[in-house]
Structure 1
Amino acid sequence: MRVSIGAAFMALVAIASNSIMAATAPGLATGVTGGGNAAPVYPKNIVELQTYLRDSVPRVIILNKTFDFRGSEGKKTETGCRPDYTRECIAKKNGFKSQDVILQGGGMAHTGGCSNGQPVSITYDIAGTKNPLIVSGSKTIRGEGKKGVIIGKGLWLSGDNIILQNVHITNLNPHLVWGGDAIYLQGKGNNQPMEKVWIDHVKVSLVGRQMMTTNAAGSNSLTISNCDFDGQTPYSASCDGHHYWTNIFVSNLKMTMVNNCIHHTSGRAPKLSSSEGKYLLQAHFANNYWYDNTGHSLEIDGAYVLSEGNYFKDTPVPNLQENKGSVMSVNTNNKAACKAALGRDCIPDVFVNSGAFVGHSENEVLPKVKDVATRFKPTQPKPLSLSAKNFGVGDL
């Protein structure tokens, strides 16, 4: 039987499509399909990438090259802020640099990160601070090997059913606070929460502001797994090569965060805030690996958080002590109550050369996170290894 060239080509496309289909998401994003069985597309330049991400067509978008947005929208020089902590850092002369601050609305007196600021000239790349890459619903964005790199511009997720996998986002004006967010969860129309979002095997490095953050809309089913949040930087708020503005979630949110490496940070790793009770945040942190974090890691000032099976190494402050929010780290004293509430064995966290985890309102955690925490069953905690074949923790 003769097979036409066209039929043979379509068969190869089908094989290629199957080979890049993502595995099943753990936790709350289970069932996410992204672009589904759509024939994969391979953007050739930054314009095609922007178009594929934003259109309303279900797509499987394969990144097999570096997309560098630096210089694509020009640079801007203006008056910024040099805060007091930056001036203290500069005085240390320890080989590390600090961050100046891009002024936001309201000027120096009303810009976050600009305490007791002095004016200073700053220059930044506009692509990192303005017009992020809009990602609409029903999209799979997946890197090929270690080729899928986005430089100088972040992603703005805005829709249901999104898979972002095996991509490295880097170099968003790391010398400046407010220089750019790598991943922003916008929500969808009319400020509604997103459904089924899976961020997996993603590496984030060298950002000016947040590695990941949310709008108020948030998500009802977010899973962050196997990611590498790499805080190593020459520019930091603490002048020690450790990034401070790591992740912040201020929204209505249900989140599974498992098997991630969070390292070389000094704060907000992550921060969850309810803004004085305005939002309901429910999170399950399990089997993550925090290491070499000089400041605080978790900052829970208005959320319900269960931490189990995590491995903390060289982390002097695993969580910032707060008088708001409800947070519980599983240990030998409370694991029985945890099992009674969740119907399974709960796994204690491990701390190596690290400070103590400080629980708060622990009796309120389990009733609130039961639905979230029963979606993923953790294993024993251990240090995690980053892959040499792809981005993030372990091989795809």
Structure 2
Amino acid sequence: MPADPGFGAFPYEAAPKGFAAVGAFTYPNGTTGGTGPGSQTVYVTNSDDLGNLMKRREDPDPRTFNFPPLIVYVVGTLTPGTVVTDKCDVKDVYDISIIGVGVDATLSGFGFNVVGSKNIIIRNLKIQNSPIDGITVQARNVDGTGNHLWFDHNTITNCYDGALDVTHTASYVTLSWNHFYNHNKLCLMGHSDSQTSDVTMKVSYHHNYFDSTEQRHPRVRYGKAHVYNNYYRKIGLYGVSSNDGADVLVEGNYFQNVPLPMDTSRDGSIPGDVVERNNVFVNCGPYQTRGTAFDPSVYYGYSLDDPATLPTLISSYAGSGKWDFSSTGVETPMPPGIPTLASPTNGSTGIPLSQALLWRTNYNTTGYRIQVSPDPTFVSSIIVDSTLTDTSCVVGALANSTTYYWRVRANNAVGWGAFSLPWSFQTISLPAAGVTVTPATLSFGSRLVNSSTADTVKVRSVGLLTLHIDSIRVYGGEFGATPTSATILPVGDSLRVSVTFTPT
């Protein structure tokens, strides 16, 4: 973790904040998911097992089976199968947590369809390349038919339509610590201009990372939305949009490179109310506000992180793979991922004697250590730097025609992770020394006594050594010349020679 970043230890939250924490309907303690008396645990490693398990749990109101709470742990990467093709239905179920195991739990090629369900937690999953939404959340168009839903520490990218849409009167919902990237339409709240029943919706959005996305962060119709402590980075169209009389409070967020941080109507919808306070705007366009906002503290208590800390805080900790939510007892943070070396490619030759080394990181990283050595075992390294915070390092003063090995490890609040596998490169071969002089002779022709003239000689080293010219001699008379000595850099230099003509 960077020194004194302005926030404490990893922000693991054992229970939701925001609307998902509010007691309502038949859940006086808010959203608890699969925890509670008689809780059962299942591990799944393929999409069909997950889909079949959700089907067996279906029990629409009025309930018939009264199933006990269930925790479903997702292991590895799940892809479409026979039962689950484009989506996994989480329909008419209750009291379930679906949690990714470790750092790599992924749904690839499908998403979740959460309809008419209550007391559901989905966290620590990467959802990518879904042909529909990443996660669709709907109730049954009546308040209390889909509620207490918490979506936490997920990564959602490159899905066809919405990333995480909440519509059709779903209420008491929280989206927290999610990372969205490479996506167009992010978070729709409220189905359409005609879906007036969505006025009962209540959704909190906090500590989410909207990373180089386009729109709907969220776009709200009719309901109440509390948008706080999120990080908006390099947004294409707009940040938050309030429509159809929605009631939206936007506070304590960090907007960076957002052309329109907030607006009060979109695509011809009736305007909604949006109030902003205590936000940070960096290189942003103007924003729109309107009306008054509801007071979230009427529903739940909350505190704001300093918005100036959000870029570091959220980019470090939002998304999946940052915390092992699948362990029992006290949760423990995950160590950093192993960096992936990028450039120069392994085995490269002809590398100059000063070279930038580039790498990529996978997750949960705050710093790096690089080692560069002519020894593949790194017993003796010419460069050891543990202060790096960026994914690059320039190494210089390398030896001619030498093979070097390099590797990188990452750091976070847990400590140092494992080194990457080493890569090698070979520096360029150059002669030991040499020089070229152009032109070899300067001729000044006829000149007046005690006059001076000047010309330029291009003196360039073609070897590894810095050249020093001890003296400059002038033949053909008693003439003076300046400079009398010079140092020529290896990269080449132009030497200007001035000659004064004096009588013999």
TM interval, short-chain normalised: 0.5 to 0.7
- Tell me whether 1:297 sits opposite 2:245 in the alignment: no
Which residue number in structure 2 is paired with residue 273 of structure 1? 221
For the pair shown, the structure with the greater C-alpha radius of gyration is: 2
How high is the TM-score relative to the length of structure 2? Answer: 0.51
Amino acid aligned to 2:226: H
Question: How far apart, in 1, do the equivalents of 2:239 and 2:318 lie?
Answer: 26
Change (3 A) 1:307 1:389: closer
How high is the TM-score relative to the length of structure 1? Answer: 0.64
Question: How far apart, in 2, do the equivalents of 1:133 and 1:282 lie?
Answer: 24
Is the 2:54–2:89 contact (alpha carbons within 8 Å) kept by the matching residues of 1? no
- Tell me whether 1:28 sits opposite 2:16 in the alignment: no
- Tell me whether 1:60 sits opposite 2:71 in the alignment: yes
Aligned pairs (5 A) from 1:206-217: 206-217=158-169
Which residue number in structure 2 is paired with residue 377 of structure 1? 303
Question: How far apart, in 2, do the equivalents of 1:46 and 1:22 lie?
Answer: 27
- Tell me whether 1:325 sits opposite 2:272 in the alignment: yes
How far off is 1:72 after superposition?
4.4
Which residue number in structure 2 is paired with residue 145 of structure 1? 102
Change (3 A) 1:171 1:188: same
Question: How far apart, in 1, do the equivalents of 2:236 and 2:128 lie?
Answer: 22
Deviates more, 1:286-295 or 1:261-270: 261-270
How far off is 1:190 after superposition?
6.4
Question: How far apart, in 1, do the equivalents of 2:33 and 2:207 lie?
Answer: 21
Change (3 A) 1:282 1:224: same
Is the 1:304–1:365 contact (alpha carbons within 8 Å) kept by the matching residues of 2? yes
How far off is 1:191 after superposition?
6.9
Which residue number in structure 1 is paired with residue 48 of structure 2? 47
Change (3 A) 1:359 1:153: same
How far off is 1:194 after superposition?
2.3
Change (3 A) 1:351 1:153: same
Change (3 A) 1:366 1:34: closer
Structure with a larger share of its residues in strand: 2
Structure of higher RCO (CA pairs closer than 8 Å, 6+ residues apart): 1
Deviates more, 1:386-395 or 1:262-271: 386-395
- Out of 169, 174, 186, the residue aligned to residue 246 of structure 1 is 186
**What's the CA shift string for 1:126-181, capped at 9, x where partnerless?**
932x67454721100001122221112221223111111101111023xxxxxx01
Which residue number in structure 2 is paired with residue 259 of structure 1? 207
**Once superposed, which parts of structure 1, at least 4 consecutive aligned residues long, lie more than 3 Å away?**
130-135, 188-193, 386-396
- Tell me whether 1:186 sits opposite 2:185 in the alignment: no
Q: Which runs of 5+ in 2 are unaligned?
A: 1-11, 22-29, 58-66, 191-197, 325-332, 335-504
Amino acid aligned to 1:195: N
Question: How far apart, in 1, do the equivalents of 2:211 and 2:82 lie?
Answer: 31
Question: How far apart, in 2, do the equivalents of 1:204 and 1:329 lie?
Answer: 27
SS of structure 2 residue aligned to 1:283: strand
How far off is 1:385 after superposition?
1.9
Amino acid aligned to 1:253: M
Question: How far apart, in 1, do the equivalents of 2:163 and 2:323 lie?
Answer: 17
Amino acid aligned to 1:35: G
Amino acid aligned to 1:308: E
Is the 2:264–2:273 contact (alpha carbons within 8 Å) kept by the matching residues of 1? no
Is the 2:153–2:319 contact (alpha carbons within 8 Å) kept by the matching residues of 1? no
Which residue number in structure 1 is paired with residue 476 of structure 2? none
How far off is 1:214 after superposition?
2.7
Change (3 A) 1:149 1:248: same
How far off is 1:321 after superposition?
4.2
Structure with a larger share of its residues in helix: 1
Question: How far apart, in 2, do the equivalents of 1:326 and 1:222 lie?
Answer: 20
Change (3 A) 1:389 1:320: closer
Amino acid aligned to 1:67: L
Change (3 A) 1:298 1:393: farther
Which residue number in structure 1 is paired with residue 175 of structure 2? 224
How far off is 1:53 after superposition?
2.7
- Tell me whether 1:359 sits opposite 2:320 in the alignment: no
Residue identity over aligned pairs, in percent, reads: 25
Q: Which runs of 5+ in 1 are unaligned?
A: 1-20, 74-125, 174-179, 233-242, 275-280, 331-347
Change (3 A) 1:327 1:392: farther
Amino acid aligned to 1:185: V
